[in-house]
Amino acid sequence: MEKFELHILGCGSALPTTRHFPTSQVVNLRDKLFMIDCGEGAQLQFRKSRLKFSRLNHIFISHLHGDHCFGLPGLISTLNLLGRTAELHIYSPVGLEEQMGPMLAFFNRQMTYQVVFHAFDTNVSTLIYEDRSLTVTTLPLRHRMPCCGFLFAEKPSPNHIVREMVDFYQVPVYELNRIKNGADYVTPEGEVVPNSRLTTPADPPRRYAYCSDTVYMPSLAEALQGVDLLFHEATFAEADAPRARETFHTTAVQAAMLARDAGVGRLLIGHYSARYEDESCLLGEATAIFPHTQLASENLCVQV
């Protein structure tokens, strides 16, 4: 199975603590790196996670609160110091390019590479990135400012060739791509060899969903149905539910209810409020509703 990993660089919320860094994650799909949010210290955590800057070409920013994007200037500057030449693509709600432009012009007057900004509408679900193996789609969320989550969906892979059967039927090399993609093989004598005899099914495509920051949105369950791994913010415990509503955040119980209703494989919770010295209370509340829940922590690597 191809590599599909999630690296947690930071899982705290807006107020700094000595326990957690602000929000940032990296998806590693087949050694191509995709960053989600970039709070302060993200580049330091990137190093600690032993990830390679040269493999990072796309950054997705959920919204323009500082704890999700204040790490961008430092990261962009570091890439410049390293002599990067490849374009860096940043996807965000409208407004980031306007904020970052003057800062980059002042601090990075001699850029060795181009930063390309892509603004998206946070009110509708939109395909914002696609390559041969992956799509990234926005998930509209409800926060105090325009905000989206992201759904990373692996594309289906071709079937696996059964070498012994291909050799037995003396299948020409030029037929293999068709067979991988589901075609039967017709021998020179006219015999139809079913595809199921020549191939084995590929591994099912995997999906990872990121939802932070947002109020509890039961309607998200449809878009998240059956994802393999869901990261959902769980800023507050249930005792602080009024504060969660006031600040447009979610409790651990609500995150677990969404995971249960969406039938996801596993739930990862994070974006912890600074008020909690020990997040085990959040884990306890979540696992009571959705047992397959795990706490996010810095430099944690999770297989999707």
Q: Is the model's pLDDT at 1 over the cut of 90?
A: no
Torsion angle of alpha carbons 274, 280, 286, 287, nearest 10°? 170
pLDDT of 105: 85
The pLDDT-based confidence of 85 (bands split at 50, 70, 90) is very high
pLDDT of 266: 98
Q: Is the model's pLDDT at 106 over the cut of 90?
A: no
Give dist(CA 297, CA 283) in Å, integer.
12
pLDDT of 223: 97
Instruction: Please return the burial class of 259, using the count of CB atoms within 10 Å of its CB with bins 0-12, 13-18 and 19+.
Output: buried
Give dist(CA 14, CA 235) in Å, integer.
10
pLDDT of 31: 95
Q: For the residues of 242-267, what is the DSSP string, one character each?
A: HHHHHHT--BHHHHHHHHHHHT-SEE
Task: Just give the CATH number of 4-157+203-303.
Answer: 3.60.15.10
Mean pLDDT value of segment 229-253: 97
pLDDT of 254: 98
Nearest residue to 134 (alpha-carbon basis) of 27, 241, 236: 27
Structure tokens at 188: 């020179």
Residue-wise pLDDT tens digits, 64-74: 999 999 999 99
pLDDT of 243: 97
Given a contact cutoff of 8 angstroms between Cβ atoms, the answer to whether 125 and 139 are in contact is yes
pLDDT of 220: 97
Instruction: Please return the burial class of 292, using the count of CB atoms within 10 Å of its CB with bins 0-12, 13-18 and 19+.
Output: middle
pLDDT of 55: 97
Please provide the average confidence, as pLDDT, over all residues in the chain: 95
Give the DSSP H or E segment for 163: helix 163-168
Sheet with 229-233, strands from edge to edge, namely 127-130, 134-140, 148-154, 207-211, 229-233, 266-270, 293-295
Give dist(CA 279, CA 265) in Å, integer.
22
Going by C-beta distance under 8 Å and a sequence separation of 6 or more, which residues neighbour residue 170? none
Which of 21-35, 98-112, 134-148 is least confident? Answer: 98-112
Ranges of CATH 3.60.15.10 domains, the chain: 4-157+203-303
131 is catalytic: no
Given a contact cutoff of 8 angstroms between Cβ atoms, the answer to whether 251 and 283 are in contact is no
Please identify which of the residues 67, 121, 131, 228 carries the catalytic annotation: 67
Mean pLDDT value of segment 210-214: 96
Q: Is the model's pLDDT at 301 over the cut of 90?
A: yes
pLDDT of 93: 97
Give dist(CA 114, CA 109) in Å, integer.
12
pLDDT of 207: 98
Q: Is the model's pLDDT at 110 over the cut of 90?
A: no
Which of 26-30, 103-107, 196-200, 293-297 is least confident? Answer: 103-107
Provide the angle, in degrees to the nearest 10, between the axes of the packed helices 280-287 and 252-262: 30
Q: Is the model's pLDDT at 45 over the cut of 90?
A: yes
> What sign does the CA torsion over 84, 86, 87, 90 have?
negative
Q: What is the pTM of this model?
A: 0.92
Share of the chain above pLDDT 70, in %: 100
pLDDT of 91: 98
The pLDDT-based confidence of 147 (bands split at 50, 70, 90) is very high
pLDDT of 101: 87
